[in-house]
Chain A
Amino acid sequence: MLVTLLVLSTLIFFLFRILPGDPLSMFIDAALPVEAQEAVMKQFGLDKPLWQQYITYMSNLFRGEFGVSFHYRQPVIEIIGEKVWSTAILMGAALLIAFAVGVLGGAIMAWIRGSKIEIFGTALALFFRSAPVFWTGMVVLLIFSYRLGWFPAGGMRSVGTEVLSNWDKFVSLDFLHHLVLPALTAALYYIATPLLVMRTAMIEVMNDDFIEMARAKGLSEWKVLTRHAMRNSLLPVVTVLCLMVGFAIGGQVLIETVFRWPGLGREMVAAIQRNDYPVAQATFFLMGILVIFLNLVADLLYGILDPRVTYD
């Protein structure tokens, strides 16, 4: 994992140095006064040779020192600190809905395998997985915000809402009202994965002898389904949850853009468009850390939940 992290940060280092134009102009805002420009040059060691720059960059990165945003003229860490929470809440809500519905739906679909409803369910889940999530978002906004007027057209809270604390920010009816559409849109996009993984796992488990055994004991179909089949099918679903976050974060970039949700993904896109490279670099780095960390968790979980898997 550490190696992966090291390589990823090295990749970012070089990625942001192949930008066309003067390499210095990417790190130093031309609008700054000359003394301030020199201060930034010093801080990031941009006057030094490449290998020294690399070392400075690495040590800065791991101390959480991402520099100063060109756009906001504030330390990057202060800007994205808050956005991380907005993204986490939206993504968390969407994944929770997708997995709750997906696990139950997948189990039922395995149980009624081969029926018309099952084929329709698979097709429907795949339809929403295939629809570009930014487009689903646009259509959802068209219907539920513009035509029906049930939900706000974007943002995280109504204009003019006073925010006294972090608690107020994320726990209020107004916030929930803004959360519904983006969370449901994202959930529709994510649901195919847990649904189909659960279905496959259930089908494999249902062929196992212990299911026959449970039936032979005279347990009701419902008990066989929930107590025996579902419980033993959850392992791949839990693992896939961790692996899915990498994919979910990509969807997040688009959903946040369409719903103007002030999160990490939207900030990344905006930062690239504004040539605010310190912010773009930091958001991408954070997303990478999250993905790498969850890949590791998935590996470990696999070992804990299935004793047959060992790591030596």
Chain B
Amino acid sequence: MNALREHFEILMKDRLGMIGMAILVSFVLIAIFAPYIAPYDPMESQYRPDGSFARMDPPSREFIFGTTRMGRDVFSQVVIGSRVALIVGIVSAIASTLIGVNVGLISGYYGGRIDNFLMRLTDIVYGVPFLPFVIILVAILGPSLGNTLLAIILISWRTTARVIRSQVLTLKQRVFIEAAKVSGAGNLRIIYRHIMPNIVPMALVYTAMNLSTAILTEASVSFLGYGDPLLVSWGKTLHMAYVAQAIYDAWWWVVPPGLAITLLVLSGFFISRAYEEIANPRLRQR
């Protein structure tokens, strides 16, 4: 718990890390209270106060981010869309960390054949072009949130696994691990009680990074038209805007969802960078 508080304190000292944390928390709050914040149903056509159809309206008091070609409220789409982004980001970040950390720990600790097998597997996954793979898998299995998550998680554990393994390799040589072994601790106990706490900061560097990558990837897949047909997402709003060629006459339909993606992804990178300064003390300012 003390170590955790220490991480938190260092995170707060890093200016960009703090900004990242603030952005992430704001988006989580928006996502939780989305139905109360969004003024309209994001998929319903709206009407102006005078009763006419609100088609491609620029930002106004009624529709603060304007409306789409179908008269849908962009602001409501952006607010509701935060849910898909955060679900994808958080689920993939946690899953890829769990897989990556365990692969790295087991591979690095046991060495030999297990290590060889797991690292060859990691090499193979490294050979798969990430976004093209996700696009193809989602197109083949059918566009849905679950399939997008599956495709992202299948690939994104690879970096964590490699980095954690190399950390374990050096940790294994340290005296306190020797001591634990001599005092009769079992392999699992050594791995999870003695080694794991030391790789937490490094793992978090990649957890935060995977959060960002997953959100960007889902947005890209949705932008190409393979978003979950039942859900409102930022990528899908941009897909509709692109298909309607809205770049040329409705900037308000394009700018807000893109900016929302950028901010949320940015928060992940800021947090990741802050943890990197913890994990790599040589980077710390002297």
Contact = CB atoms under 8 A, between A and B. Distances in A.
A243 B171 CA distance: 26
Contact of B269 (A114, A126, A268, A273): A126
B93 to A, nearest CB: 15
Given A8-B124, A207-B282, A269-B224, A132 B261 contact: yes
Interface string A93-124: 00000000000000000000110000100110
Interface in A243-295: 246-247, 249-251, 253-254, 257-258, 265, 268-269, 272-273, 280, 283-284, 287-288, 290-292, 295
Given A4-B123, A249-B129, A132 B142 contact: no
Given A257-B224, A291-B129, A269 B124 contact: no
Contacts of B263: 130
B269 A253 contact: no
A253 B15 contact: no
Contacts of B142: 20
B270 interface: yes
Interface stretch (B62-70, B94-102, B133-141, B172-180): B133-141
A265 B133 CA distance: 12
Nearest to A135: B258
B16 A122 contact: yes
A139 B132 contact: no
B242 A138 contact: yes
B131 A273 contact: no
A136 B124 CA distance: 32
B247 A122 contact: no
A204 interface: yes
A203 B284 CA distance: 10
Contacts of A150: none
A293 to B, nearest CB: 9
Contact of A15 (B140, B270, B282): B140
A130 B215 CA distance: 10
Contact of A246 (B130, B223, B257): B130
B282 A132 contact: no
B132 A287 contact: yes
A3 B132 contact: no
Interface in B140-174: 140-142
Contacts of B283: 200, 203-204
Nearest to A203: B283
Contacts of B140: 15-16, 18-19
B225 interface: yes
B258 A138 contact: yes
B127 A146 contact: no
Nearest to B282: A204
Contacts of A207: 282
Contact of A268 (B120, B132, B235, B282): B132
B266 A127 contact: yes
A113 to B, nearest CB: 7
A89 interface: no
A272 B135 contact: yes
B240 interface: no
Interface string A195-223: 01000100110010000000000000000
Interface stretch (B32-40, B75-83, B195-203, B248-256): B248-256
Contact of B238 (A135, A253, A292): A135
B39 to A, nearest CB: 24
Given A131-B258, A134-B220, A135-B254, A247 B127 contact: no
A203 B248 CA distance: 45
B158 to A, nearest CB: 11
A5 interface: yes
Interface string B223-235: 1110000000001
A119 B15 contact: yes
A18 B15 CA distance: 48
Contact of B124 (A7, A123, A127): A7
B255 A139 contact: yes
B273 interface: yes
A257 B141 CA distance: 22
Given A4-B126, A7-B127, A196-B273, 14 more contacts: A3-B120, A15-B140, A127-B266, A130-B263, A132-B219, A132-B238, A132-B258, A132-B261, A139-B258, A142-B247, A249-B132, A253-B135, A272-B136, A291-B126
10 contacts: A4-B127, A7-B127, A8-B124, A8-B127, A132-B216, A134-B223, A250-B130, A253-B224, A269-B224, A280-B136
Interface of B: 15-16, 120, 123-124, 126-133, 135-137, 139-142, 212, 216, 219-220, 223-225, 235, 238, 241-242, 247-248, 251, 254-255, 257-258, 261-263, 265-266, 268-270, 273, 280, 282-283, 285
Q: Which 6 pairs across A and B sit closest by C-beta, in order of nearness?
A: A250-B131, A135-B258, A130-B265, A130-B266, A292-B127, A131-B262
